[in-house]
Copies of this chain bind each other. A is one copy, B any other.
Amino acid sequence: MRTTQLYAPTLRQTPAEAEVVSHQLMLRAGMIRKAAGGVYTYLPLAWRVLRKIEHIIREEMDAADGQELAMPIMQPAELWQQTGRWDIFGEEMFRLQDRHGRQFCLGPTHEEMITSLVCNEVRSYRQLPLRLYQIQNKYRDEIRPRFGLMRGREFIMKDLYSFDKDEAGLDVSYKKMYDAYTNIFTRCGLAFRPVEADGGAIGGGHTHEFTVLADSGESEIVYCSACDYAANVEKAELSALVPAAEEMQEMTMVETPGTKTIEAVAQLLNIDVARTIKAVAFQNEKDELVCAFVRGDHEVNDVKLQNAVEATALRMAEDPVITAAGGVAGFMSPIGMHKDVKVVVDLSVMEMYNAVAGANQVDRHYKNVNPQRDFKDVIVADIRLMKAGDPCPHCGAAVKMTRGIEAGQVFKLGTKYSEALHATFLDENGREKPLVMGCYGIGVSRTMAAAIEQHNDEDGIIWPAAIAPYEVVVVPVNAKNDEQLQLAEEIYRELKAVRVDVLLDDRKERAGVKFKDADLIGYPMRITVGPKAVEEDAIELKLRRSGEVKVCGKNEYLDQVTALLKEI
């Protein structure tokens, strides 16, 4: 391809609408344009990247015995009503009616559709396992679509569904997909971690998120530097921290005027924050008070707390709700709350000795609280948020924290959908059983954005070679110099002949403009054809990532280019 024929309208300025770097750079590099909030056109450069990612995905899905098909984007409402998700999805689902008034949605996912597809035609265990996938647009009416392709309303997904005869079969399918995903993100040139995660609304149990590491990511993850443990912080399981045993002292009340924060209390009493007990008050979807207690130096994990009290939603409690339940905001204690209040105490709190906690009276705290002795009728659960330095649940080494972008997820669904839609098969003994399912998604357009979040610098994008729109750009320095142009053309043709994915920047622009665009778009290698190339047989190969320049002659550059492309 030649730049004069390439539709890639680059911008010098960063559009104000773009908050994150991948969004900014894709707009500036002429890769995407907005059609509506969360709805984008992929211009030719972005489309090339997406097709390369898709190609890698297809190869790995096929290698894992996946078969590609294509289900409709427009799906009849009836299927979703059968599983109850027509209502559950709420406003997040785009809905429409046809001219006859029949209701449809634009598929946010395809569990219902695929289950009903195989329902009547997979009848025997002999037809299992079955793994079907597709790559297509998905639709979610996000309240606040943002961050460019990171959270779009129309986006590209690969979704595979596995059907097995039992849990053991599902384990095999899950493992195959886990490995395939590992291959895919590795081949895309991304640093990532498969992390244990929470199931969320999709239902079912065991799940891993494939998280592309990036400081700008929305997901917070913990990982162990000693073993391969990694988890979404929402999910990370913690056991109790057990301090050295102490003799339990008698509980006494102390005056702590104006100490509304746990730090203020610790300072006043001149003790370590880790010896205090912190209260956080929530109210659930029925506006009932839920009181959570963690060690003063810990934080509450909302997701775990929600699971512990089986709430569908939690928000910070308002003062009247606290008061009505017998609590005193700022000085709450498990001691003295009304009987029906849900009081949840973290595992590590239960191990404390002679701690300081609120007294449920204004400006008062208790000293020498010993939860095992003093807390009655409380729910004890793991409700704290893991933090850097906490012991790894697998090996005990100190964990680290990082941020990332959830680009893929593998999920054991079990029989949730097959039971709802009566998708059964006959097993070896002729017994009718529900199909055991898994689902496995990759955000294709999000993976492209995540790659940019992970690989960029102040000049622009730095594509991993495997998913770069072009691997190499050939830039004649002086577009008016025939010898340079001719040599550039020759290099361009020779690289194409050996199947290097190459672009020739044949524009009549100043070298600076062409270099700036090459850096912005982020081709992994730039071949500069200037006076030295013509006069001294010194062709420059510049690597985008390291900035390193290799100089070589006409008779050796081909080997150099192909060798370097394998390395970077």
In the complex this chain forms, how many copies of it are found? 2
A69 within 8 A of B: yes
CB pair B154–A65 under 8 Å, yes or no, is: no
A204 within 8 A of B: no
CB pair A139–B74 under 8 Å, yes or no, is: yes
CB pair B67–A44 under 8 Å, yes or no, is: yes
Which residues of B are found within 8 Å of A70, using beta-carbon distances? 41-42, 47, 50
Chain A interface residue bracket vs B: 35 or more
A365 within 8 A of B: no
Q: Which of B5, B91, B139 is close to A65, meaning CB atoms less than 8 Å apart?
A: B5
Interface residues of A in 1-42 (CB under 8 A from B): 5-7, 9, 33, 35-36, 39-42
CB pair A71–B35 under 8 Å, yes or no, is: yes
Minimum CB–CB distance from A338 to chain B (whole Å) comes to: 39
Q: Which of B6, B36, B102 is close to A76, meaning CB atoms less than 8 Å apart?
A: B36
Give Cα distance in the complex from A184 to B7, angstroms: 24
Give Cα distance in the complex from A143 to B95, angstroms: 20
A167 within 8 A of B: no
Q: Which of B9, B74, B94, B139 is close to A121, meaning CB atoms less than 8 Å apart?
A: B9
A280 within 8 A of B: no
A193 within 8 A of B: no
Q: Which of B69, B91, B104 is close to A36, meaning CB atoms less than 8 Å apart?
A: B104
A43 within 8 A of B: yes
Which residues of B are found within 8 Å of A285, using beta-carbon distances? none
Interface residues of A in 66-115 (CB under 8 A from B): 67-76, 91, 94-96, 98-99, 102, 104, 106, 113
Which residues of B are found within 8 Å of A106, using beta-carbon distances? 74, 96, 106
A130 within 8 A of B: yes
CB pair B41–A99 under 8 Å, yes or no, is: no
CB pair A69–B96 under 8 Å, yes or no, is: no
A153 within 8 A of B: yes
Q: Known: A44-B67, A130-B7. Contact between A95 and B96, CB under 8 A?
A: yes
Minimum CB–CB distance from A346 to chain B (whole Å) comes to: 37
Minimum CB–CB distance from A200 to chain B (whole Å) comes to: 20
Q: Mark A529-555, 1 if CB is under 8 A from B, else 0.
A: 000000000000000000000000000
Q: Mark A132-176, 1 if CB is under 8 A from B, else 0.
A: 100001010101000000000110000000000000000000000
Q: Mark A368-401, 1 if CB is under 8 A from B, else 0.
A: 0000000000000000000000000000000000
